[in-house]
Amino acid sequence: MSETARQLSPCTRAQRDDEFGCNPGQIIELLSDDDARAVFLSADEPTTVRELAAEHDLPLSTAYRKVDRLHESGLLTNLNRQSGETPAIYVRSVDHVSVTYDEPIRIECLRNGKTLYCEH
């Protein structure tokens, strides 16, 4: 067995790999959405939803929906997780996402040198 194969951690469609896991159905949907994909790609540095909305010329409500969905899917992390007057700060939680549309569909998320994957 190759070193890469031993590092892979499978997940099911209904569960995440771990607390930082991927949600495969949402990932496919979000990466197919031009605005959501652009928001994901530009969150390589910590940023607020307002900054993302301005950068991509999105209405603030649309930017919040995209960020919420990206966060739910495991693609963005909320760095300050506080409610209140401080705006939430988000950053990409994965370094690389790969989707292979063979049978089965395979989604790989590279995070901190570890590959997490789902097949369905």
* 21-71: pLDDT as tens digits: 566 677 888 889 999 999 999 999 999 999 999 999 999 999 999 999 998
List, for residues 64-76, the tens digit of each pLDDT value.
999 999 988 888 9
Integer Cα distance of 51 and 1 in angstroms: 45
Supply the pLDDT for residue 83: 63
Does residue 17 form part of some domain? Answer: no
Q: Is the pLDDT score of 17 beyond 70?
A: no
CATH number of residue 51's parent domain: 1.10.10.10
**Is residue 5 in a domain?**
no
The single residue listed with the structure tokens 């909320």 is 78
Whether residue 10 is contained in a domain is answered as no
Residue 47 in any domain: the answer is yes
Structural domain harbouring 91? 24-119
Residue 40 domain flag: yes
Q: Is the pLDDT of residue 3 over 90?
A: no
pLDDT at 105: 77
Cβ neighbors of 51 (< 8 A, separation 6 or more) are none
Per the structure, the count of domains in the chain is 1
- pLDDT value, residue 22: 60
- Digit-coded pLDDT (tens) for 90-117: 999 888 888 888 777 777 777 777 777 7
Give yes or no for a cis peptide into 104 (omega within 30° of 0): yes
**pTM, rounded to two decimals:** 0.74
pLDDT at 106: 77
| 80 falls within a domain | yes
Strand 114-119 with 106-111, pairing: antiparallel
97 Cα distance to chain centroid: 8
pLDDT of residue 40: 94
